[in-house]
Structure formats: C-alpha cells, structure tokens
Structure 1
Amino acid sequence: MDEQAADSAPGAEQWRSLTWAQANERIRAVAAGLMALGIRPEDRVAIASATRIEWILADLGNMCAGAATTTVYPSTNSDETAFILANSGSRALFAENQSQLRKAVEQKAELPALEYVILFDAPGGDAPEADGLTVLTLAELERRGAEHLAENPDAVDKAIDSLDKEQLATLIYTSGTTGRPKGVRLVHDCWSYEGVAQEESGLLRSDDVQFMWLPLSHVFGKTLISGQIATGHVMAVDGRVDRIIHNLPVIRPTLMASAPRIFEKVYNGIAGKARAEGGAKYKIFMWAAKVARDYAQTIQANKVAHGHESAPLGLRLQHALADKLVYTKIRAAFGGRLRGAVSGSAALAPEIGYFFKGAGVPVLEGYGLTETSAGSTVNRAEDFRVGTVGIPLPGTEVRIAEDGEILLRGPGIMRGYHEMPEQTAEVLEPDGWFHTGDIGELGAGGYLRITDRKKDMFKTSGGKYVAPSEVEGKFKAICPFVSNILVIGNGRNYCTALIGLDETVIMPWAAEHGMAGKSYAEVVADPSTVELIDGFVKRLNGELQRWQTIKKFTLLPRDLDIEHGELTPSLKIKRPVVEQTYADRVSEMYAGTNEA
C-alpha cells in the first residue's frame, strides 16, 4: 500500500503523513502485541477514544489478530462504559487517556474479563491505581508485537489467513434513545461489503481527499474506514469538532461526511454573520439564499421530469450574480473543491439541503443504521435529490412494508444483537429482511424518502398523525437561531415544542438588542427573545396543516447536550429523556386544557 493517509494527532497543529506501508507495519505490530498478550480469535477488545489515527490502527490491529472491536464513545459515563465492557466480555481496552482508564478502574469489580488497558497517551503522575489490570502504552504494545514477530514472523499472516467472513469483527452498541444499548454483531463480511459497495457506487474514489472527524465509535465513521481501504484515497483524521472550520481550508477535502447538525450550524452561522453586518449585506444574503433554493428546486424538478438540469434564463442570471456575491465564499469555507458532503445519522431539513445545493456544496444524504453497517442507501453526486436519501448501494435491497416501514436486506445487515435472541427475532426475519423502524417511501428511480421514525410518529387526540421530524426540519430551515427543537403532541389536542437556541448566534443578536452582559439563560427568558422566536413559529405554522401547527412553545434555559443525556453521541435527541427532564414545562403548555 503506497498511497498516503494524512492524519493529525489531537493537540498537534502540524499535519503529518502515514503511508500505507507505515500503517501496515504498525497495524501488524499491534496485532502481534495483542496475540502476545494472549488475545485469541473473536475475543473482544474495546476502544474508548475520540477520533484519531491511533483509533484506526487499534481497530485494524484487533481485526488482523482475529479479535473483535467493541466500540465505546469517550463521552460515555463510567456506569454505561462498564455495562458495555461487561456485556461484551472485553478482555482488553484501548483507552485514549487517563480519563478513560479511570472509568475501567472505577468499575473493575464489575469487569472480571478485563485484563489489559492500552493507553494511547502515556500516563502522567496522577494516573489512577489500576489494581487487577495490566496497563501499558500503545508504544509498549507495539514493541511487544515487534518482538513477537521477530520470533514468529508469520503469526499475523496466519491469523489473517484463518479469518472467516462470518467471524465477528465488531460489536457496536446502539447509543439508544431509550434503555440500555444493544450490542450489534457485525462480521468481517459486513465491512468487506461496505468497502466494495462504496467504491462501486462512486461514493468514494481513489483520488479523493476525505476529511474524517466523525466519531469512529459510531457506525457512520467506522464504515468509511472500509471505503478508504477499498479505494486507497487520502484521509485526513482529526476528531476535534472545534477544529473543523480551521481544518477545512487547510485540508481542502473533496469529500467529507457529517451529521446534519453541522450543516445547520454552518447555515445559521452564515445567516447570523450577515444579520450582524446588517443593511445591504443581510438583504443580499437573504436574497441569495432564496435564489439558491429556487434554483436547486427548479433544476432538480427538471432533472426528474425531463432527464436534464435546466432553469429559466432569469433565474440562471440571478444565480450567477448570487454566486459571485455569496456562494463562492461559502464554497471557499469548505476548502473550495468539495465534490460531496455526505450527511447521515439523522434527517437533514430539505430547505437546508436546497440552499447548499444551490450554493454549489452538494450535501449527499444517505441512510443506514448501526444494524446495517451504516451504508444502505446514498445519493450520488452526479444525480442527487434533496429530500431523499438516495438509492441503494450495490447489493442492498429495499422494500416498503404494508404499514410503510422500510425493510432492508443485504450483506451489510447485522448477524443479530449480542446475546439477545428474542430482540434479534423481533427485527430480523429468517429470510434476511431487517425491520428498520423507519417509515418511508420509494419514489421515481428508486430514490428512498424517510418520513419519520415509526416510534416517533404520534396521533393527536383528534386522530391526526404528526411526523415530528418533518415539522422540526421545517423550523430549522426557517429559524437561524434554533439549535434543537422537540415537537410534542402524542394524545394531546394540539402540538407544542421545546426549543433550544444556538448560543453562538443568539448571543450576538442579544448584545445588539440591549442584553449585553446577560447570560444565555437570561437572554432566552427575555420577552424580546420570546417575541423573536414567536415570529418564526408563526411563519412555520403558515406552512403546516392545522393539526401540525405549534400552539405554544418553551425556550429552554440551556441547549440540549450529550453531557445531560439528552442527545446521543451522534446528536440525535433522546425524546423520552427530554420530555421527562422538562415535564413541568410541558405541563405548563397544556395547563387550562383537558390535557393538563
């Protein structure tokens, strides 16, 4: 492997390269080091770390040794970390730092199988006492591996040759919006399939430069590693979210994968900056944003109807002018050569998608779950349709059940939930069809559109169905100040909403409106802020059916976050948690009705 994979260790500001040959040497050393510790085929070896090059080396080292990787989000608390390590039976843990080591130490009594912890970052003077655990650094493991290979030069080759395609490769625990996470069993054939399918679909190319910042503990990030191995393209790795905006102009990626929240924040940031500059600049931005959406919708509609993209002369001229004034700057912020930004893990508001399409930043929505090794369907850059999640990857089948549920079948489907046969039988049919729990429809050309999560859709007391994500997506496209919104109304006689605002956008606005020096909580409680958001809610309601409209809303005293357990690590809202946390606020919105 003579291609280069660029990487950056967190904390380092200088990019350094790792060739495929260098990666191979280190991965084999990791694999041999694990074998020297006594790790055997299908033994579970966990990784608790943020996205960094060592994560990838550890994961591939695990699999080359025949072991199976158990992924753990670094943000997972010690109790849930212990559950994952215990449930998986992990014998070893790659821990990013002392913080992750401490979680294992605190719960060691619950982890009889855990014997080794390998640290990516060397321990300092305040390292926790690790009685009952053998702690060594990644460098030490690699040295042991080199010594093992000196005595047994073909040890890793034999381990690789003995791998079976149905052998367990990865246990990924669903972050889950309710209850304990379930361990999803993904075998080597799942990842082999994903790599080939991503290449054959044209999603990834050998000449790509991909920016990888996604959590590798999440299936979305993990599956893209398979794609890189298949194509050999350059990948720049840096998991620090606060460095994304700084890294883009340096890396100048041709491809980047992200969660919708990042695109929403970029849009809100651009709109907020234009508003702060005021006057003509804000008017120009708002005009350009409308032109982008109109242009994108028009060319997409003509492509679907007539097979080619076209727009009226007047709209083309407006688009060309807006491109010079606004869109070129947006593309430059992404590095200037992005051919596709893959969006997954949650729904992207179509209005946001049309804006970026019109601005020349193709956001390619895809669809998949942990249980499907992530990639199941995706839009292609040459013919992507906003509002859909594209067409199936080669080898994956999609059909819609009678009740509207999306069913998937193919090599990427999990082999079941770890030690949970009953739960597996509930979602996986004997003939291989997997029940996703999502509602959708197949349109012209086989493009899949997601309507909502089956379990999230609700019926009002008047008998009308509401798809909350549809309403929430529309609001995010209308209101540049929103960060998170949760629509409520199951069994109620009207809908309400809990709304968290984007602090980076609302605080500058507040300072300009006499609230300089006030805290975020004080700003969102101020009547002028409530009035501001009320205006956007009224605009939203004008686009909805009567039973979908938001009658009342509450601005939350802080935005939803992972730390309080309200968002999953992939930034999905844990609806039951949020509704329980703010039950009093919800009750207030229904006070005086028969729902109170």
Structure 2
Amino acid sequence: MSDTQNLIENRPPSVATLFIERVAATPDADAFRYPVPPASGHGPDTWHSLTWGATAERVYAIAAGLIALGVQPEERVALASSTRIEWILADLGVMCAGAATTTIYPSTNADESVFILSDSGSRVLIAEDAAQLAKVRAHRTELPELTHVVVIEAADAVPEPGDPEGWVLSLDAVEKLGGQELAARPGVVRERIDALKADQLATLIYTSGTTGRPKGVRLRHDSWSYMAKAMAGTGLISAEDVQYLWLPLAHVFGKMLTSGQIEVGHVTAVDGRVDKIIENLPVVRPTYMAAVPRIFEKVYNGVAAKARAGGAAKYRIFKWAAGVARESARVSQENFQRTGNSSLPFALAAKHKVADALVFAKIREAFGGRLRAAVSGSAALAPEISYFFSGAGVPILEGYGLTETSAACFVNPGLALRTGTVGKPMPGTEVRIADDGEILIRNPAVMVGYHGLPDKTAEVLEEDGWFHTGDIGELSTDGYLKITDRKKDLIKTSGGKYVSPAEVETQFKAVCPFVSNILVIGGGRNFCSALITLDEPTIMEWAAEHNLGGKSYAEVMAAPETERLIDGYVQRLNDGLQRWQAIRKFRLLPRDLDIEHGELTPSLKLKRPVVEREYSGLIEDMYAGTRES
C-alpha cells in the first residue's frame, strides 16, 4: 500500500480533527492573509495576517457561541456572504460545533434564499450585511425554524421593531458569547469535535439548477477529510505555497481548497472582490490559485487588447509570441508524453527565449511572478488559451468535478498536464464510462443524496456508490479523462446530426478575442445558430478605434461594423467544423449575460434554458422563413 493510499484509508472522520492537528503542529505559522480597506476609503488596502493559533481562537469562539445559541449537531447554519476571512472562520466554527453549513450565494435573490433556508431547516443564518439580512427579514414569518440572524458587518446588525428579542446579533457578539461559554465549559467545543462521525452531515450545498428549484446536495464530514488527503496526495500543493482564494466560498470548489490547505498548512490570501484581482496579484504573489475559465479568457483578451492598442508593430509581436507559446506548449507536452522530457528543440527554444523576454515575462509578472500553476474548473477552457498560458510559463491545470462529488475528482498532474483533458483521477477515485458514454464516479466524496428528494437521488446514485455525472467523456489508456459534453446538452438537428454546443462554443472562444459568452442553438432545427455577447472593455476599445467612439455598448453591438467583425470570426470557426456544426446565423445581444438576470450560475456557467427563453424572439427571427425538416 502506498503512503497516499494509507493516508486516505486511515483518514480521520472530519476536517475538524485535521484542523486541531494543524493548529497543534504550526500554531505560530501564518494561515490566512486578508485585506483591510483604509478608514478614509481612499488608498490601498492593508493586508493583515492570522496565524493558525489565532484562527483557532476565533473558530472555537464562534463554535461555542453557536452552541450557546442552542445549535445542535447536524442542525443547519446557513452562510450568505461574499468570500472573506469571516466566511472561512464561520464555516470552520459551524463544523467544530458539529453543525452543518448551508451555503447561499450573496447574489441569490430573496425568494430563492428563503426557499433554501426553509428547505434546509436552517436554525441560524450568518449574513454578510444589511442587504442579506433584509432578504430574510421580509419573510421571517415563513421561516419559523430560523431562530437567529448573525450579521458579519457589526454596524448592520440593527434590530427593527417586530424582530423577536435576540433575533439579530453581530458576529462579534456571537464570539463574545462563545468566550463566555468556553470560560464556563472549557471542553465544550472539543467534545463536539470528538463526537463527530464520518457519515454525519457536514455541508448542504444547493445546486444552481437551470430550471425549477435548486436541489440540496448532502455531503458528509468524511467527504471533506477524504478530499483534504486526496489533494495532498496529488503532490500539487505543499506547506510552502501561497494560495490566492477569491472564488465564491458558497461553491463546492472553495470548500475543497480550504480543506486541502488545512491538511498541508500553507498560507491562503482571501479576498472575494473580483474587481481587485489584477490589483491583488502583485501584492499577494501567489504560487497557485484556482479560477473558472472565464477569468483566463478575460486575462487573455485583456493582454491581446493592450497589445493591439500599442500599435501595429506591438500587436504583430504579441501574435507572433502567442504562436510561439502555443507551439512550445504543444511540443513540450508531446515530448513529455513520449519520453518523459519536456525540453524543446533548439530552434523553438531560441524563439521561446526571445518571446519570453518580449511578452511572457510581463504576463508572469502580472500574476505576481511566482505562480507555479493555476487550476481551472467548472467548465471547459479553450485549448488554445490553455496552450498560450502554459507556453508563457503559467500552466493551467484543468480539473473536473461536481457539487455531488465534493468538487474535483480529476486534475491534471503538474508537469504531465495534457491540454484538452481534465487529467487523471484523484487518489482514491474510481471511474468508468457507461455504454452511452456517460462518466460514472465512485469515491468517498460522493454525496449521500439530495436533501429530501429520494427519487431524484435514485436517478443518479446507484446502491453500490456509483454516481452518474450526466457528462459524456472519453478515458485514455493511461487514465486521462476528456469531457466531450453534458449528456442533456447534446442537441440533435432536424437532419438527425448530433452537435455538442459546448465544443463549438469553446472553439469560438479560442478563435475570437472579443467574445464574452456564446450560446449555440440547433436542437430540432435544420441548422445551428448562436447568440453572442462581447467583452465590454475589449470591444469598446476596438469601437473607439473604428469611428464608434462615444456610443454605448448596446449601440456598438447593434452597429453593422461590429457584426462584420464578428462574422469574420464566425467564418474562421466554421472553417474548422463539420457542415452540420457550422454557425449559419448569429445575433449579438445588447448586453452581456450575467448572474443578476439569472442567465449565469454563480460559477459563471450558462443557464441555457433561461437565455433561450429570454431571447426566444431573436432565435425565432434567425429561423424565420427556413424549412424545419
């Protein structure tokens, strides 16, 4: 038995035990760094540090405070907040109190927030601010089980007439209450941790469904202790790492990253403000970070736009360097796969050295200068973008997993990464491909089931533990997995041809540097079409250079010049597609798709039915006068 297998098989029942061990092993080492904005509201943030020992003090105070409020083991405590240090402290506090965290995205509307709180039977809500408090206050009578709302921003924890006594209180107040509880009963938190069982409910995460109400995914404590050990077992993270964590912590990916951090003991810099990423990277100087493909697409488009704005000569240099990066990454991967050596031929290595001095070094510096690798998940990353970053010295390791599998169950293995795949199984994960191409997963991180939905659980979870992912994929002889599409998203044209929308969409993102979102349509139709949105900063910069300056985004999108520009990229896309996959018509939308309008999930996945319903008029217009047969 290997050391990794031994660690996984002999894992503790909960990450809470790993947390105790981590605090005991490195109490004075930095655990977290987080920004504190200046009191004046102007100027740069000040970054503060929290050691593992100081983290434990706050975590145990929160845990004891929740116990003092009457929270019992496995009872749900909901968290509605953006990514910030208090989110992590509260989540760990809930775990150490033996309760279960229910996550709610701060962007979730009041109706769905109330549904999640009610369906989960949450006893306490930890809300970020007045906005999150207001969502539940207006519906308090619909939530009889919700006994307290704990507000992170102390100034927003203001009771109103009609609130029950003690219904609203601040997180500070809970920590003080916890301090009193610990003074009276010093062992109360440790007793809860020691009583935790592997199959006890730890987390209830509601999937952002594209139709109907979201389903609550029940994940055990054992899921996270397994995930912590499996992450460490990949060898991709170590105690010397600095992680930059900005992903939504309501997403399963965030919980996985914090579990792995506790196991190895590295530092995590926490700041969920997406608009601060570019500013934070040179300050944090991470050695690794995780993101969704849209972030890498935006960075790539931004770099290309900056080069274009620098004039024709600078743009020619960028395009040449981008070609060198892609060729170098391809050759390097092919050589490593064949010989175990990723070195480049002399001529290509010479070109890469020049391109590195002119372009690549600046890209690495923009990421902080120390980034070993970035991890990408949630959706497919265009191979051309992946090759570009890998060739520039910022390898992107694609992984794969679902909420139902406690996040990643596959990841690309560092130097042996293979672009276009999601890598190899995490230690302790089994995989098989069903007769219809569906990917089936079995490991300790697979969910117990959907909360209160036994019929829905039975549809995807077999009695022997195999989970049906709903994704179609191919497995190489040496264990690399390639995702080809969602089973339910494959479309069949009226001519009987199957088309993978995701595959076409990913290829277009590699071809067109202006695209933000694209949705391919064609199910039951006699040809494929697309709805397209463009990245606003990039297209507005182009517009200013093409006599469209001063116009709004919507006006630029409606301009004939913009349509001609994008039509050129659509034709380039079509040159590489089969006839039945080709985009025959497209429409540019007057605004980008977003979470607020319900068109994207919080992890930036397209909600296809929502978009198709909202823009049904444009879709029908594209097919008007065509014969549907």
Both proteins in one fold, TM over 0.5: yes
Q: Secondary structure at the match of 1:318?
A: helix
Please say if residues 130 and 157 of structure 2, whose CA atoms lie closer than 8 Å, have aligned partners that are also in contact. Answer: no
3-state SS of paired residue (1:150): helix
**Alignment-derived partner of residue 382 in structure 2:** 349
Q: What does residue 6 of structure 2 align with?
A: none
Partner of 2:395: 362
User: What's 1:57 paired with?
Assistant: 89
Q: Tell me the residue number matched to 1:380.
A: 413
1:302 corresponds to: 335
Q: Is the 8 A contact 2:36 2:46 kept in 1?
A: no
4+ runs deviating over 6 angstroms: none
Kept in 2, the 8 Å contact 1:6–1:15? The answer is: no
Please name the residue that 1:449 is paired with: 482
2:468 match: 435
1:71 aligns with 2:97: no
Q: Which moved more, 1:300-309 or 1:243-252?
A: 300-309
Which residue is 1:190 aligned to?
223
User: Are the counterparts in 2 of residues 379 and 390 from structure 1 also a CA contact under 8 Å?
Assistant: yes
Q: Counterpart amino acid of 1:166?
A: D
CA contact 2:79–2:103 (8 Å) conserved in 1: yes
Contact 2:287 2:373 in 1 (8 A): yes
TM superposition shift of 1:131:
1.9
Counterparts in 2 of 1:15-414, with a 5 A limit?
Answer: 15-124=47-156, 129=161, 131-132=163-164, 134-414=167-447
Q: Using the alignment, how far apart are the partners of 1:103 and 1:511 within structure 2?
A: 41
Checking the alignment, whether the CA contact within 8 Å between 2:37 and 2:46 is kept in structure 1 is no
Cα shift readout 1:139-168 (whole Å, capped 9, x = no counterpart): 100000000111101111111111101100
CA shift for structure 1 position 433? 0.3
Q: Which amino acid aligns with 2:380?
A: A
d(CA) in 2 for partners of 1:313, 1:550: 41
% of aligned pairs identical?
Answer: 64
**227-236 or 195-204, which moves further after superposition?**
195-204
Q: What is the DSSP-based 3-state SS (H/G/I as helix, E as strand, rest coil) of the residue aligned with 1:321?
A: helix
1:6, distance to aligned residue in structure 2 (A): 2.8
**Cα deviations across residues 389-438 of structure 1 (Å, max 9, x unaligned)?**
01111001111111000000001100000011000000000000000000
Counterpart residue number, 1:561? 594
What's the Cα RMSD here? 1.3
State the distance in 2 between where 1:59 and 1:310 align: 45
SS at match of 1:211: strand
Does the CA contact (< 8 Å) of 2:522 and 2:529 recur in 1?
yes
CA distance in 2 between partners of 1:384 and 1:347 (Å): 15
Query: Deviation string for 1:360-414 (max 9, x for gaps)?
Result: 1010000000000002000121211111101111001111111000000001100
> Contact between 1:102 and 1:128, CA under 8 Å: does it hold in 2?
no
Letter in 1 for 2:521: I
Tell me, yes or no, if the aligned pair for 2:337 and 2:416 is still in contact at 8 Å. Answer: no
**Distance in structure 1 (CA, Å) of the matches to 2:266 and 2:476:** 33
- Given residue 279 of structure 2, which amino acid in structure 1 is its aligned partner? H
Q: Residue 236 of structure 1: SS of its match in structure 2?
A: strand
Alpha carbons of structure 1 residues 111 and 125: separation in structure 2 relative to 1, 3 Å? closer
For residue 346 of structure 1, give the secondary structure of its aligned residue in structure 2: coil
Distance 1:8 1:232 in 2: 17
The 3-state SS of whatever aligns with 1:38 is coil
Unpaired stretches in structure 1, ≥5 consecutive residues: none
Which of 559, 568, 571 aligns to 1:535? It is 568
In 1, distance between residues paired with 2:161 and 2:475? 56
Instruction: Write the distance in 2 (CA, Å) between the matches of 1:278 and 1:176.
Output: 45
Distance 2:590 2:273 in 1: 26
Query: How far apart, CA to CA, are the structure 2 residues paired with 1:345 and 1:222?
Result: 14
Contact residue 339 and residue 381 of structure 1 kept, 8 A? no
SS at match of 1:176: coil
Q: Does the 8 A contact of 1:10 with 1:239 survive in 2?
A: no
Residue-by-residue CA offset, 1:221-272 (whole Å, 9 max, x unaligned): 1110100110000000000000000100111100100000000000000011
Letter in 1 for 2:145: A
SS of the counterpart of 1:387? coil
Alignment-derived partner of residue 4 in structure 1: 30
Aligned amino acid, residue 374 of structure 1: A
Aligned mate of 1:584, from 606, 617, 624: 617
How much does 1:297 deviate?
Answer: 1.1
What's the TM-score, normalizing by structure 2? 0.93
CA contact (8 A) 2:400 2:407 kept: yes
How far has the Cα of 1:539 moved from its partner?
0.6
**Partner Cα distance (2:270, 2:90) in 1:** 14
Q: Secondary structure at the match of 2:604?
A: coil
Pairs within 5 Å for 1:413-562? 413-562=446-595
